[in-house]
């Protein structure tokens, strides 16, 4: 079946901002690092994590993602908890699995394999072997609970190859998602052309889907034709964009053009509310355009919540004649032969 003809799988939206609003602040951390409250909630207030997952399930999402984005040694070292990374990832997997199994319909769990240093960091990363070893530790913790792995918000091709190496031979599909600069150039935040990064995944043979995330909706739109041309044969393609009027590139670069002269995308202010968050209706408009362009997997990233995904899931059900993406035959690139539990 051609990629463009696959049923749509609706991925969930961001967890970090939901939990940042629900959970107590972490004393001593600056505002921009308060996302750690979300990962610490896995032990301190697991009910909040479960409620966030449940909100996405209730919204109609076909796939929910483990709350393990910050469950890395690097991030947890900021609060003296580096040694808890694997245990927190396992807890994240268990909570997501319970939420996915609750509704009486098929909901898949994606195990998040995030950047292992700072988000958007492109230089000074560990060597390939060290990256793969740390990803393997997280994959070991998540594997008993998940249907697939989602290596996400990757700024470099090297991170993708390390994640694929770490997940090889586990019998679970792997989705790879790159974060892009917020321009129409379809380039990773590390500067590599998306075309090269996507095509290079074929060498390891088990990337079931290639996506882009944590970028402006316009950057995702520019990326989809590139993914359709260069993703490994048979791989699904998709995207899940940010929901903030201030793009990540503008935040990182102060709103100026980069060294190569590519102008940053300027979001339409009419799509955002008074607080600078994209409206559900505006996000749906982008999502429907991505679907028309060939996306098989669509979700939301930072600032995109259950109310956004509910509109998309309803549209997907209508397009499928009443069935959701997973139940209409979406297979997550091979996931779903079992329930993701191993023991």
Tell me: pLDDT of 53 over 90. yes
pLDDT of residue 21: 79
Tell me: pLDDT of 330 over 50. no
Angle formed at CA 153 by CA 151 and CA 155, multiple of 5 degrees = 105
Classified as helix, coil or strand, 180 is strand
Least confident span in 20-24, 38-42, 145-149, 304-308: 20-24
Q: How confident is the model at residue 204 (pLDDT cuts 50, 70, 90)?
A: confident
- DSSP string computed for 79-130: GT-GGGHHHHHHHHHHHHHHHHHSSSS--EEEEEE--SSSTT--SSPPPHHH
Dump pLDDT digits (tens) for 252-301: 877 554 544 457 899 999 999 999 999 999 999 999 999 999 999 999 99
pTM for this predicted structure: 0.92
Cα torsion through 149, 152, 157, 159, rounded to 10: -70
């Amino acid at each position: 079946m051609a990629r463009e003809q696959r049923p749509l799988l609706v991925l969930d939206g961001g967890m970090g901002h939901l939990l940042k609003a629900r959970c107590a602040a972490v004393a001593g951390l600056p505002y921009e690092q308060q996302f750690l409250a979300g990962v610490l909630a896995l032990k301190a207030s697991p009910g909040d994590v479960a409620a966030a997952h449940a909100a996405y399930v209730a919204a109609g999402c076909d796939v929910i993602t483990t709350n393990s984005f910050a469950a890395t040694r690097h991030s947890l070292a900021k609060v003296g908890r580096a040694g808890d990374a694997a245990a927190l990832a396992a807890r994240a997997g268990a909570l997501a699995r319970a939420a996915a199994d609750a509704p009486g319909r098929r909901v898949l769990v994606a195990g998040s394999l995030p950047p292992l240093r700072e988000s958007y960091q492109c230089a000074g990363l560990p060597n390939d072997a060290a990256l793969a070893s740390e990803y393997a530790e997280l994959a070991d913790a998540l594997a008993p609970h998940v249907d697939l792995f989602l290596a996400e918000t990757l700024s470099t091709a090297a991170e993708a190859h390390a994640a694929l190496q770490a997940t090889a031979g586990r019998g679970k599909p792997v989705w790879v998602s790159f974060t892009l600069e917020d321009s129409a150039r379809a380039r990773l935040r590390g500067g590599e052309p998306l075309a090269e990064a996507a095509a290079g995944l074929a060498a390891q043979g088990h990337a079931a889907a290639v996506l882009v995330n944590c970028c402006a909706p316009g950057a995702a739109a520019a990326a989809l034709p590139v993914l359709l041309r260069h993703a490994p044969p048979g791989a699904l393609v998709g995207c899940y964009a940010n929901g903030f009027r201030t793009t990540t590139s503008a935040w990182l670069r102060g709103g100026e053009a980069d060294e190569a002269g590519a102008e940053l995308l300027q979001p339409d202010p009419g799509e955002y509310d008074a607080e600078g968050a994209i409206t559900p209706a505006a996000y749906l408009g982008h999502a429907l355009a991505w679907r028309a362009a060939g996306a098989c997997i669509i979700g939301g990233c930072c600032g995109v919540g259950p109310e956004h995904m509910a509109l998309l899931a309803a549209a997907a059900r209508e397009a499928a004649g009443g069935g959701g993406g997973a139940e209409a035959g979406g297979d997550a690139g091979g996931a779903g032969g079992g329930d993701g539990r191993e023991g």
